[in-house]
């Protein structure tokens, strides 16, 4: 049997998805653990826009080098590990999208990044699943939850989230967060999603904290 020819780093393809959006998928490198290709995806509303995004992403590969373990940052190693650790479960669900737990705009401004969004993007790129970082918005700037008991967390999170993307209809989604403690945040978001018509809501987290 002839060996399947492996695509070169930077090679990719473009297709239109069922929802009308465009996806470009390309090879970013090789997973040092499995030896398999690491594939990344970018999404856009038009073919021209997605082609431009793919070109820019391929040009940036030299900055984010996935070819050799020695050149991978800790963050890149974590991305690869998370996709391998959570990938089987996520693929079995076949979700329409990954939805990261959002930060309030004030906390986002102070921190400069949303760790749940970074994790969701890493998973989405490797598993070829759309990520909607703006689908849910945190409108209530809640107090830090780590010092509260489960009941206090639940009360603190009431009416903390709303749906922003009414133009996107989703039936099956996975909420992504970095740490799962009592589940109060994911429960609240799941309730908002179900009320908006999402039929199936699942959750994944990178780690579990105290209170499980």
Higher pLDDT among residues 109 and 67, named by residue = 109
Q: What per-residue confidence (pLDDT) applies to 2?
A: 45
pLDDT category of residue 180 using cuts at 50, 70 and 90 = confident
pLDDT per residue as tens digits for the range 187-207: 999 999 999 999 999 999 988
Can you tell me the mean pLDDT for 174-181? 90
Q: With CA atoms as reference, report the closest residue to 10 among 23, 21, 24, 20.
A: 24
Residue 116 has pLDDT above 70, yes or no: yes
Give me the residue label for tokens 């690869």: 80
pLDDT tens across 77-109, in order? 666 667 777 888 888 899 999 999 999 888 888
Residues 6+ apart with CB under 8 A from 205: 176, 177, 178, 179, 180
For the chain, the structural domain boundaries read 10-72, 74-212
Distance CA 181, CA 187 (A): 11
Three-class secondary structure of residue 1 per DSSP: coil
Average pLDDT, the chain: 80
Q: Does the 74-212 domain belong in CATH 3.40.50.2020?
A: yes
**Residue partners of 109: CB distance under 8 A and separation at least 6:** none
Using CB atoms within 10 Å of the CB of residue 198, give its burial: 0 to 12 exposed, 13 to 18 middle, 19+ buried: buried
Q: Does the CA dihedral 97-102-105-109 come out positive or negative?
A: negative
Please give the pLDDT value at position 127. Answer: 83
Banded pLDDT at 208 (limits 50, 70, 90): confident
- Judge whether residue 75 has pLDDT over 90: no
């Amino acid at each position: 049997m002839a060996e399947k020819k492996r695509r070169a780093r930077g090679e990719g393809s473009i297709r239109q998805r069922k929802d009308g959006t465009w996806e470009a998928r390309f090879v970013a490198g090789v997973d040092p653990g499995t030896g398999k290709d690491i594939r990344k995806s970018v999404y856009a509303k038009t073919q021209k826009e997605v082609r431009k995004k793919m070109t820019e992403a391929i040009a940036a590969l030299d900055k984010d080098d996935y070819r050799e373990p020695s050149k991978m940052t800790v963050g890149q190693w974590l991305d690869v590990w998370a996709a391998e650790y959570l990938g089987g479960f996520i693929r079995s669900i076949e979700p329409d999208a990954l939805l990261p737990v959002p930060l309030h705009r004030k906390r986002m401004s102070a921190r400069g990044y949303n760790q749940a969004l970074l994790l969701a993007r890493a998973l989405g790129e490797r598993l070829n699943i759309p990520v909607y970082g703006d689908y849910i918005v945190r409108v209530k700037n809640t107090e830090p939850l780590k010092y509260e008991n489960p009941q206090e967390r639940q009360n603190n999170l009431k009416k903390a989230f709303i749906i922003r993307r009414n133009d996107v209809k989703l039936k099956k989604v996975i909420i992504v967060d970095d740490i799962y403690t009592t589940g109060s945040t994911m429960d609240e978001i799941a309730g908002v999603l179900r009320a908006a018509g999402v039929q199936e809501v699942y959750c994944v987290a990178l780690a579990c904290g105290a209170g499980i």
